[in-house]
Chains A and B, each alone.
Chain A
Amino acid sequence: MAVGFEPRVVGFLCNWCSYAGADMAGTSRMSYPPNIRIIRVPCSGRVDPLFVVKAFQMGADGVLIAGCHPGDCHYTEGNYHMRRRFALLQPFLDYVGIEKERFRLEWVSASEGKRFTQVVTSFTEQLRQLGPRKDRELMAAKGVQRAV
């Protein structure tokens, strides 16, 4: 594992539950790893697979999607749609070589500040174990040219 490796995590948090949950963690003075960069989205169902692949393209070590618990969606059914999309996208990204441990879907409600810190901590720890992504080395090994 690289010395001093700190994973970069992109977190897509739903405005109504998980973002408020993260806010709850903050206002309750609970600490969680600063590795996560939070992007607020109106609903977990808003997260297009494009966003996830783009985040990985831009160098994210992990992507977290967090939304309301099933049944609690502000828009009634957004998280159900995300659940189906995630169920396909995670094995698909794993198939193209982005390990499935790097991509997570979690349900965090507005009152679950504690749970939010646990999710971020365990995810960051998992990524730290996994180490940085090996794309550069693999490209060099395969002789794949990069555009500058």
Chain B
Amino acid sequence: MQDKIRAKARELLETGTVDCVIGYERATDGLTARPVFIYGTAGVDRLVFDQTCVHNLSKFLLDRRDKRTAIVAKPCDSRAINLLINEGQLARDKVYIIGVVCQGMPEVSWNRVSKEPQERCQRCPQRVPVVYDYLVGEPVEALPVTFSDVEQMENAGPAERRGFWLEQFGRCIRCHACRQACPGCYCSECFVDQLDPTWVGIRKDVTDNEMWNTIRAFHLAGRCISCNECERVCPVSIPLSLLNRKLEKDVGEFFDFQAGIKAETVPPFATFKKDEHLKGVE
């Protein structure tokens, strides 16, 4: 796998198809991976790909909008690329996607790699990138989508749910790592940074944290591609995927839409039908 990526990267850089290859390299701790930008054939051998390459690299493409770039993309990352193309942030012909087949990534911390795949990967239906120019690995069947965790939450009583979320939001330290890691969060000015009006107060209060977390999730309604980077980077382990996946489930139910599967489909909030009947609306 790794050799194929390296060979392709070398070929792309030699022929001048792209100026830069975004991929993974071994971090200095010798175990985990970190993102790397390769600008010449000399650096190609630094590229690695294995079970530790958990990051979603697609956000880096936004820094290279008008330059020809190749990127190593897992299935979830490829959906993010589709999302960015759909929203006019990227041009498809500027991006060369080296897709990799993914069987799920393990939990990686500084000193160990888990045997089981991450929870997000256990629930992920995609095993093959939805868009690619060159595929590494043998294509495998997509898995069925499950929302068992969301349904379990929905079936709890309102007071129980409220208590659960207040406790979770109470832990938030508003480092905004979830936003920084999210490929869908690219607004030049985020609502949380606005000072006039100050939508989210500067105090670290549970109500302000709730404001941030709910609106962040809602801004990704119909856009979240469930790469779950937000949850992975959260330093206080708030189950953000429970919020995102609830919206993903409802968007699927109401509008029969899944973000990032096709770059051409119009997202649900960009359109409407005059005579549609939506659940809960008269």
Query: CB within 8 Å of B: which residues of A?
Result: 49-50, 53-54, 57, 70-71, 77, 80-81, 83-100, 105-107, 134-135, 138-139, 141-142, 144-147
Contacts and interface: CB of A to CB of B under 8 A. Distances in A.
B211 A135 contact: no
B39 interface: no
B191 A96 contact: no
B279 A87 contact: yes
Nearest to B279: A87
Interface in B36-66: none
A138 B210 contact: no
Contacts of A147: 203-206, 208
B125 interface: no
| SS of A interface (majority) | helix
Nearest to B212: A53
| SS of B interface (majority) | helix
A97 B254 contact: no
Given A53-B211, A99-B158, 19 more contacts: A57-B210, A81-B269, A83-B272, A87-B278, A87-B279, A87-B281, A88-B218, A88-B251, A92-B214, A92-B250, A94-B158, A95-B161, A96-B162, A134-B159, A142-B167, A142-B170, A144-B166, A144-B206, A147-B208
B205 A93 contact: no
Nearest to B251: A88
B22 interface: no
B247 interface: yes
B208 A57 contact: yes
Q: Which 10 A-B pairs have the closest CB atoms?
A: A97-B162, A144-B170, A147-B205, A87-B278, A80-B272, A147-B203, A97-B161, A138-B163, A142-B167, A96-B165
A20 B199 CA distance: 28
B159 A138 contact: yes
B154 interface: yes
A87 B199 contact: no
Contacts of A85: 269
B280 A87 contact: yes
A97 B158 contact: yes
Interface of B: 153-154, 158-159, 161-167, 170, 191, 199, 203-208, 210-211, 214-215, 217-218, 221-222, 243, 246-247, 250-251, 254-255, 268-269, 272-274, 276, 278-282
A96 B210 contact: yes
Contacts of A93: 214
Nearest to B161: A97
Nearest to B191: A50
Contacts of B167: 142, 144
Nearest to A99: B158
Contacts of A91: 246, 250, 279-280
Given A92-B218, A144-B167, A84 B278 contact: yes
Nearest to A130: B158
B206 A146 contact: yes
A80 B275 CA distance: 9
B162 A138 contact: yes
Nearest to B199: A50
A89 B273 CA distance: 18
A91 B248 CA distance: 12
Contact of B214 (A84, A96, A100, A146): A96
A137 to B, nearest CB: 9
A95 B208 contact: no
A106 B281 CA distance: 9
Nearest to B153: A95
Contacts of A88: 218, 221-222, 247, 250-251, 254
Contact of B166 (A70, A86, A100, A135): A135
Contacts of B170: 139, 142, 144-145
Contacts of B204: 147
Q: Which of B215, B222, B280 is the most central at the interface, judged by chain A CB atoms within 10 Å of its CB?
A: B280
A73 to B, nearest CB: 11
A54 B165 contact: no
